[in-house]
Amino acid sequence: MLTLRRAQDRGRADFGWLDSRHSFSFGEYYDPAHMGFGPLRVINDDRVAGGGGFPTHPHRDMEIVSYVLEGALAHKDSLGTGSVIKPGDVQRMSAGTGIAHSEFNASRTDPVHFLQIWFLPERRGLTPGYEQKNFDAASKRDCLRLVASPDGRDGSVTIRSDASLYVSLLGEGAKVSHQIAAGRGLWLQVARGSVAVGDITLVEGDGLQVTNEKLLEIVGKAEQSEILLFDLGA
């Protein structure tokens, strides 16, 4: 079964410095029909103006992945970690028993566009941690590149959740496919461009929930499209 979640149907928060679109319930946006999918709890499509950002705030018992599409995001946390996240980087922060962090646009003038993704952890009370890796464009072109997984296989970052995240940069007409194991589901998020799944065309911001299927085939419909594919446990 394929269930389409159109970009314009997502929740929205606009604070001037932040324009955020929520695929699932988040903050003041509550939608009981969209509370997450399996361990995938949040996909926030965030645009932060130059000089803007999120002051230090706490998290716990969540695996948080940041994926930058344009610009640069400066991160600092209570573990003493500090970094700048740029396109191609995947950052994982395990909130576990408790962590505080801040995220600011690294530029005073240019906007930053990124996805912040939350996964429910395999169990509560994990030790907080952090990991960041870069995956160059060539490794993602016209294929599904694993960038996050429970076991860190194939050089991916390790998330302590029953979820694997793949990324692809698809040229027009290029096709990728993914076998779906029994009992698992997929969520496809289009970050940029346009793709087709069967007779369904998805554009930037659209999501597709996939259940009770054995195979998903995705075809690029733009000069270059960027997609995230989540393979999720129940």
What average pLDDT does the segment 60-76 reach?
94
Structure tokens at 131: 């990991």
Fold of 2-232: Jelly Rolls (2.60.120)
Tokens of 70: 């344009």
Report the distance separating Cα 210 and Cα 153, nearest Å: 24
Flag whether pLDDT at 85 surpasses 80: yes
Please state the rounded mean pLDDT for residues 23-28: 94
Q: CA angle, corner 211, sides to 205 and 214, nearest 5?
A: 110
Gap between the Cα atoms of 97 and 195, Å rounded? 39
CA–CA distance, 61 with 121 (Å, rounded to integer): 6
* pLDDT given at position 150: 97
pLDDT value at 151 more than 80? yes
Length of the chain: 234
Task: Give the span between the Cα atoms of 84 and 106, in whole angstroms.
Answer: 7
Spell out the residues 6+ positions from residue 62 whose beta carbon is closer than 8 angstroms to its own: 41, 95, 118, 119, 120, 121
Per-residue pLDDT, averaged over 184-212, amounts to 98
Confidence of residue 76 (pLDDT cuts 50, 70, 90): confident
Instruction: Please state, in angstroms and rounded to a whole number, the distance separating the CA atoms of residues 79 and 76.
Output: 8
Residues 224 and 230: their CA atoms lie apart, in Å, by: 20
Give the pLDDT score at 190. 98
**Residue 234 vs residue 228, higher pLDDT:** 228
**pLDDT confidence tier of residue 108, bands split at 50, 70 and 90:** very high
- Considering the chain, what is the average pLDDT of its residues? 95
Nearest by Cα to 141 from 230, 225, 229, 231 = 225
Judge whether residue 55 has pLDDT over 80: yes
pLDDT in tens, 162-183: 999 999 999 999 999 999 999 9
Span 95-99, average pLDDT: 91
The strands making up 224-232's β-sheet, listed across from edge to edge, are 2-5, 207-210, 185-192, 224-232, 163-171, 145-149, 157-158
Residue pair 34/25 in contact (Cβ under 8 Å)? The answer is yes
pTM comes to 0.96
Burial pattern 70-98, b for ≥16 Cβ within 10 A else e, equals ebbbbbebeeebeeebebbbbbbbbbbee
pLDDT at 54 over 90: no
Q: Where are the domains of the chain?
A: 2-232
